[in-house]
Amino acid sequence: MRKASWFNVGSVALGLAFLYLPIVILVIYSFNASRLVSVWGGWSMRWYAELAHDRAMLESAWVTLRIALVSATAAAVIGTLAAIALVRLGRFRGRVLFSAMVYAPLVMPEVITGLSLLLLFVATGIDRGFWTIAIAHTTLTACFVTVVVQSRLLTFDVSLEEAAMNLGCPPWKTFMTVTLPLIAPALAAGWMLAFTLSLDDLVIASFTTGPGATTLPIRIYSEIRLGVKPEINAICTILVAVVALGIVAASLLIKFHDVGRGRPAQLPARA
C-alpha cells in the first residue's frame, strides 16, 4: 500500500507542477528588465510602466470588462432560470430540446458557435460591436451557470420550498425569500465563471466583433502572432493577478456566507 501512496504523492506533485510552472515563468519574465527572453536583465517594472501608456490596450481592457459585466449578469439570470426549469419543473413540453440546447454549448466547438452567431447577426442586419459580443457571450456562458446552479438546487432540501408554499407563500415570493438565498453561493460562483469565460474568449468574440469593439483577447492574440513581447507578459500577469484575487475574494465570501446561513438552514430539518 505504501508504494501506491508514494505514487499518488508523485502524480499529484508532478501534475500540479505541470499546471503551474508555465504561469509562474510567465510572471517572472514580466519583471525581466531585458527585452530578450534569453537574457535575464534583472528585476524591473519597466513593461508595466510602458503598458500604462498603451492607450489602445487600456481601451480594449475597458471594453472587455464592460462586455463581461453585461454578459455575466444576463447569463446568471438566464442560466438560473434554465436550472430551475430543469430541476424543479419536471416534464414540460419540449423538455428534450430544451435540455439539449442547454448542454450543447458546453462542448460545442467555438468556431461553430461563433460562425453561426455571426451569420445570424448578418442575416438580421444587426450592427456588430459591443452588443453582439455581449449576446454571444451570454449564450455561451449561460449553460455554465446552469450547471453550477443546478447542482446546488439538487442538494438542498426541497421541503423548505414546499413548507413556504404550504403556508401560503406565492411561488415568486418563495423563490425570493427561500430559494434565492440558498442558491446565492452557486449563483455567485456561476456569475464569476461566466465573467472569466467572457474575459477570456477569443474565437467567438473575433467572429461577432465589429468596429470599435476590439476586446483584450483579440488585441493580445494579434500581438502574440507577431512574437513574444515583454509588454504582453506584463498584461498577462495583471490578468492572472486579477483573476486570482477575484477567486480568493469569492471563496472567502462563500465561506462567510455558509457560516452565517448554516444555522437557520438546519432548523427546519431538526423540527
Of residues 117 through 176, those in contact with other proteins by CB under 8 A are 117, 119-120, 122-123, 135-136, 138-139, 142, 150-151, 154, 162, 165-166, 171-172
DSSP code for 127: P
Closest CB to other proteins among 46 and 198? 198
| Binding range to other proteins, per CB under 8 A, among 49-57, 65-73, 100-108, 180-188 | 100-108
145-169 as b/e: b if 16+ CB within 10 A: bbbbbbebbeeeeeebbeebeeeeb
Closest CB to other proteins among 72 and 193? 193
Per the CB < 8 A criterion, the answer to whether 122 and 200 are in contact is no
Give the interface size with other proteins as a residue count (CB under 8 A): 95
Whole-number Å distance between alpha carbons of 188 and 143: 15
The nearest distance, CB 158 to other proteins, in angstroms, is 10
107 binds other proteins (CB under 8 A): yes
Strands (E), the chain: none
Binding positions for other proteins, 14-73, rule CB under 8 A: 15-16, 18-20, 22-23, 25-26, 29, 36-38
Per the CB < 8 A criterion, the answer to whether 27 and 190 are in contact is no
8 binds other proteins (CB under 8 A): yes
94 binds other proteins (CB under 8 A): yes
Binding positions for other proteins, 71-90, rule CB under 8 A: 77-79, 81-82, 84-90
Hey, what's the torsion of the CAs at 172, 175, 177, 181, to 10 degrees?
-150
178 binds other proteins (CB under 8 A): no
Alpha-carbon distances, residue 208 vs 133, 233, 252 (angstroms): 6, 27, 36
The nearest distance, CB 238 to other proteins, in angstroms, is 10
| Binding range to other proteins, per CB under 8 A, among 49-57, 179-187, 200-208, 263-271 | 200-208
Residue of 52, 224, 249, 252 interacting with other proteins (CB under 8 A): 224
- Beta bridge pairs of residue 43: 32
* Length of the chain measured in residues: 271
The nearest distance, CB 59 to other proteins, in angstroms, is 18
Closest CB to other proteins among 86 and 213? 86
Alpha-carbon distances, residue 163 vs 90, 105, 113, 172, 183 (angstroms): 19, 36, 42, 14, 17
Closest CB to other proteins among 94 and 264? 94
- The total of other beta-carbon atoms located within 10 Å of residue 180's CB is 12
269 binds other proteins (CB under 8 A): no
Residue 242 grid coordinates = 486579477
Diameter of the chain measured on Cα atoms: 72
13 φ/ψ angles, rounded to the nearest 5 degrees: -65, -45
226 binds other proteins (CB under 8 A): no
Residue of 45, 111, 245, 252 interacting with other proteins (CB under 8 A): 111
249 binds other proteins (CB under 8 A): no
- Beta bridge pairs of residue 32: 43
